[in-house]
A and B are shown apart, each in its own frame.
Chain A
Amino acid sequence: MYKYDQYDQAMVDARVEDFRDQTRRRIEGHMTDDQFKPLRLKNGLYLQLHAYMLRIAIPYGTLNPTQMRKLAHIARTYDRGYGHFTTRQNLQFHWIKLEQAPDILAELAMVEMHCIQTSGESIRNISADHYAGAAADEIMDPRPWAETLRQMTTFHPEFSYLPRKFKICVIAAEEDRAAMRWHDFGLRIVKNDAGEVGFEVYPGGGMGRTPFIAYKARDFVPQHQIFSYLQAVLRVWNREARRDNIHKQRMKILVHELGEEEFTRQVEEEFQNILTLDTDFPQAEYERIAAYFTPPPFETGLPDAVDRSDPDFAVWLDRQTVAHKAPGYAIVNISLKPIGGVGGDITAEQMEVVADLAERYSFEELRVAHTQNLVLPHVRKQDLYAVWQALTEASLADVNLDLVTDIIACPGLDYCTLANARSLPVAEQIAKRFADLDRQLDLGELKIKISGCINACGHHHAGHIGILGVDRKGTENYQLLLGGSGAEDVAQAKITGPGFDEAGIVDAVERAIERYRELREPGERFIDTYRRVGFDSFKEAIYG
Chain B
Amino acid sequence: MKILTGNDLKTGAVVWWDGGSWSLHVEDAVDAGEHADVILATETAACRVNGGYAIDAAPDADGKVRPAHIKDRIRAYGPTVRPDLSLKPADPNAGNWVI
Q: Which residues of A contact B (CB under 8 A)?
A: 26-27, 29, 33, 47, 49-52, 80, 94-99, 342, 413-415, 419, 422, 424-425, 428, 474-476
Tell me which residues across on chain B come within 8 A of A425, comparing CB atoms.
80-81
Quick check: A96 and B70 within 8 Å, CB to CB? no
- Is A98's CB under 8 angstroms from B11's CB? yes
**In whole angstroms, how far apart are the Cα atoms of A442 and B51 in the complex?**
50
In the docked arrangement, what's the CA distance between A33 and B70, Å?
25
How many Å lie between the Cα of A422 and that of B10 in the bound state?
Answer: 27
Residue of B13, B14, B70 most packed against chain A (CB within 10 A) = B70
Q: A413-B70, A414-B81, A474-B70 are in contact. Are A51 and B47 (CB under 8 A)?
A: no
B64: which A residues are within 8 A, CB to CB? none
**Which has the most chain B C-beta neighbours within 10 Å: A50, A52, A96, A413?**
A50
Q: How far is the CB of B86 from the nearest CB of chain A, in Å? A: 10
Of the residues B12, B44, B46, B80, contact of A51 by C-beta under 8 Å? B12
Enumerate the 3 nearest inter-chain pairs by beta-carbon distance, A residue then B residue, closest first.
A51-B12, A414-B79, A52-B12
Chain A's nearest CB lies how many Å from the CB of B43? Answer: 12
Residues of B within 8 Å of A422, CB to CB, are 74, 80-81
Given A97-B12, A99-B11, A414-B74 contact (CB < 8 Å): yes
Contacts of A419 in B (CB 8 A): 71
Q: How far is the CB of B95 from chain A (nearest CB, A)?
A: 10
- B69 on the A face (CB < 8 A): yes
**Which chain B residue lies CB-closest to A37?**
B51
Interchain CB contact under 8 A, A51 and B11: yes
B81 close to A428 (CB less than 8 A): yes
B35 at the interface (CB under 8 A from A): no
Is the Cβ of A414 less than 8 Å from the Cβ of B80? yes
Chain B positions within 8 Å of A, measured between CB atoms, are 7, 9-14, 44, 46-47, 50-51, 68-71, 74-75, 78-82, 85
User: Chain A: which residue is nearest B68 at the CB level?
Assistant: A474
Q: Are B50 and A47 in contact (CB under 8 A)?
A: yes
Distance in angstroms from B87 CB to nearest chain A CB is: 10
Most buried by A among B51, B70, B71, B74: B71
- Nearest residue, chain B, Cβ from A29: B47
A47 to B15, CA, bound (A): 13
> Quick one: which of B12, B51, B70, B79 has the most chain A CB within 10 A?
B12
> What's the nearest-Cβ distance from chain B to residue A110, in Å?
24
Do A27 and B47 touch (CB < 8 A)?
yes
A47 adjacent to B12 (CB under 8 Å): yes
| Contacting residues, chain B, for A95 (C-beta < 8 A) | 12, 85
Q: CA separation between A185 and B33, bound complex, in Å?
A: 50
Residues of A within 8 A of B71 (CB): 49, 413, 419
Q: Which residues of A contact B68 (CB under 8 A)?
A: 474
Q: Which residue of A lies closest to B82 (CB)?
A: A342
Question: Total A-B residue pairs with C-beta atoms closer than 8 Å?
Answer: 69
Are A49 and B82 in contact, with the CB atoms below 8 A?
A: no
Query: Given that A422-B80, A474-B69 are contacting pairs, would A98 and B9 also be in contact in the complex, using a CB cutoff of 8 Å?
Result: yes
Does the CB pair B79–A80 fall under 8 Å? no
Chain B residue contacts of A475, Cβ below 8 A: 70
Closest approach, in angstroms, between the C-beta of A27 and any C-beta of chain B?
6
| Bound CA span A98–B85, Å | 19
Q: Hey, which chain A residues are within 8 Å of B70, CB to CB?
A: 413, 474-476
- Name the distance in Å between B6's Cβ and chain A's nearest Cβ: 10
- Compute how far the CA of A96 lies from the CA of B50 in the bound complex, rounded to whole angstroms: 15
B80 partner residues in chain A, CB cutoff 8 A: 414, 422, 425
Query: Which residues from B are CB-within-8-Å of A47?
Result: 7, 12, 50-51
12 residue pairs bridging A and B, Cβ less than 8 Å apart: A29-B46, A33-B44, A49-B74, A94-B79, A97-B11, A98-B11, A413-B71, A419-B71, A422-B74, A425-B80, A428-B81, A474-B69
Residues of A within 8 A of B47 (CB): 27, 29
Residues of A within 8 A of B74 (CB): 49, 413-414, 422
Q: Are B85 and A51 within 8 A (Cβ)?
A: no
B60 to chain A, nearest CB (A): 15
B72's nearest neighbour on chain A, judged by CB, is A49
Closest residue of A by beta carbon distance from B77: A50
Q: Decide: A27 and B9 in contact? CB cutoff 8 A.
A: yes
The residue in chain A whose Cβ has the minimal distance to the Cβ of B13 is A51
- The closest CB in chain B to the CB of A411 belongs to B79
| Distance from B16 Cβ to chain A, minimum over Cβ atoms (Å) | 13
- Alpha-carbon gap, A456 to B49, bound state (A): 30
| Residues in B whose Cβ lies below 8 Å from that of A94 | 79
A27 contacts B10, C-beta separation under 8 Å: yes
- Do A342 and B9 touch (CB < 8 A)? no
Contact call B14/A50, Cβ cutoff below 8 A: yes
CA distance A51 to B11 in the complex (A): 7
**Are A99 and B10 also in contact (CB < 8 A) when A80-B85, A475-B70 are?**
yes
Closest B residue by C-beta to A33: B50
Q: Which residues of A contact B13 (CB under 8 A)?
A: 50-51
Decide: A49 and B51 in contact? CB cutoff 8 A: no
Contacts A50-B12, A51-B14, A424-B79 given; 13 further ones with Cβ under 8 A?
A33-B51, A49-B14, A49-B75, A51-B7, A51-B12, A52-B12, A342-B82, A414-B79, A414-B80, A414-B81, A428-B81, A474-B70, A475-B70
Which residues of chain B have C-beta atoms less than 8 A from A476's C-beta?
70
Question: What CA separation (Å) do A415 and B7 show in the bound complex?
Answer: 14
Complex alpha-carbon distance, A94 and B69, angstroms = 22
Q: What separation, in Å, do the CA atoms of A493 and B11 have in the docked complex?
A: 40
CA distance A26 to B47 in the complex (A): 9
* Distance of A340 from chain B, by nearest CB (Å): 10
**Residue ID in chain B nearest A81 by CB atoms:** B85
The residues of A that contact B11 with a CB separation of less than 8 Å are 51, 97-99
Whole-angstrom distance between the alpha carbons of A424 and B68 in the complex? 22
